[in-house]
Amino acid sequence: MSLKKHIEKFDELHPEYVENTDYTDKLFVGVEELENHIHDRDGIIENLEEEILELKNQILALQKEKSNILEELKKSGWLENKVTLSSKYKGNIKTILGEIKVVDTKIISMLKSVGRKKQGNQKLTWKGWLTIPENRYLYEINESVAKDVYNATTEYIRRNFEDRKISRGGGAVAEKNYSLTFTGNSAAATRTYDYVSTDFNPDTYNLNLGCTVSYWIKPNETGNTMFAFGRKHSNNERFTFGINRHRQGYFAIGSNKLTTSWVNMDTPLEESLLEESGQYWNIRKDMWYHMVLTYDDRADTSSGADRKIYVNGVLRHTGNINWSSTGGDTGGMYFGGRNLTGAYQNGWACILQDVAIFNTAKDADWIANVYRGKTEMDLSGESGIVGYWRFNEGSGTTVKDTSGNGNHGTFGAISGDTTAYPTWSTDKP
Angle at 146 between CA 141 and CA 151, to 5 degrees: 175
**Contact between residue 376 and residue 121 where contact means Cβ atoms under 8 Å apart:** yes
The Cα 322–Cα 310 span in angstroms is 20
Task: Identify any residues that bridge with 277 across adjacent strands, giving them in sequence order.
Answer: 280
CB crowding 150-172: b at 16 or more within 10 Å, else e: beebbeebeeebeeeeeeeeeee
Whether residue 346 contacts residue 185, with contact meaning beta carbons closer than 8 Å, is answered with yes
Question: How many other C-beta atoms can be found within 10 angstroms of the C-beta atom of residue 186?
Answer: 15
Instruction: Characterize the bridge pairing of strands 226-234 and 334-335.
Output: antiparallel
Question: What is the rounded (10 degree) CA torsion for 281, 287, 288, 292?
Answer: 20
Task: Count the neighbouring beta carbons within 10 Å of the beta carbon of residue 28.
Answer: 18
Three-state SS letters, 123-165: CCCHHHHCCCHHHHHHHHHCHHHHHHHHHHHHHHHHHHHHCCE
Is residue 413 within a helix (H) or strand (E), and if so which, with residue range? strand 409-413
Please say whether the beta carbons of 24 and 15 come within 8 A. no
In order of 137, 158, 377, the CA distances from 155 in angstroms are 22, 5, 16
Pairing of strands 338-340, 226-234: parallel
Closest CA to 279 of 259, 289, 265: 265
Q: What is the pLDDT of residue 349?
A: 93
The torsion angles phi and psi of 38, rounded to 5 degrees, stand at: -60, -45
d(CA 388, CA 378) in angstroms, rounded, equals 10
Distance CA 363, CA 308 (A): 10
Considering the entire predicted model, what is its pTM?
0.58
Give the span between the Cα atoms of 363 and 296, in whole angstroms: 11
Going by C-alpha positions, the residue among 301, 307, 404 that lies closest to residue 361 is: 307
Contact assessment for residue 335 and residue 184, using Cβ atoms and an 8 Å cutoff: no
Contact between 400 and 390 under an 8 Å Cβ cutoff? The reply is: yes
141, 66 in Cβ contact below 8 A?
Answer: no
* CA–CA dist 409, 422 (Å, integer): 12
Instruction: Name the β-bridge partners of 289.
Output: 217
As a whole number of angstroms, the distance between CA 347 and CA 228 comes to 7
Classify 388 as helix, strand or coil.
strand
Q: Can you state the angle between helices 364-373 and 105-119, rounded to 10 degrees?
A: 60
- Which CATH class name applies to 179-425? mainly beta
Nearest of 249, 243, 241, 240 to residue 222 by alpha carbon = 243
Residue 409's beta-bridge partner residues? 399
* 161/156 Cα distance (integer angstroms): 8
| pLDDT recorded at residue 16 | 58
Q: Mind listing the pLDDT tens digit of every residue in the chain (429 residues)? A: 566 676 677 667 766 555 555 555 555 556 667 777 777 777 777 777 877 888 888 888 877 877 777 776 666 555 455 444 444 555 555 555 444 444 456 677 777 878 877 787 777 888 888 888 888 888 887 888 888 888 888 877 766 555 443 322 333 334 567 999 999 886 565 667 899 999 999 888 888 888 999 999 999 988 888 999 998 877 667 889 998 887 888 888 876 644 444 455 443 333 333 333 333 457 888 889 999 999 887 655 555 567 888 888 888 878 777 776 656 666 799 999 998 877 888 899 999 999 999 999 999 999 998 988 876 788 988 889 999 999 999 999 999 999 999 999 999 988 666 678 999 999 888
Contact between 347 and 337 under an 8 Å Cβ cutoff? The reply is yes
- In the chain, where the domains are located: 1-75, 93-162, 179-425
Spatial CB neighbours of 146, under 8 Å, sequence gap ≥ 6 = 135, 138, 139
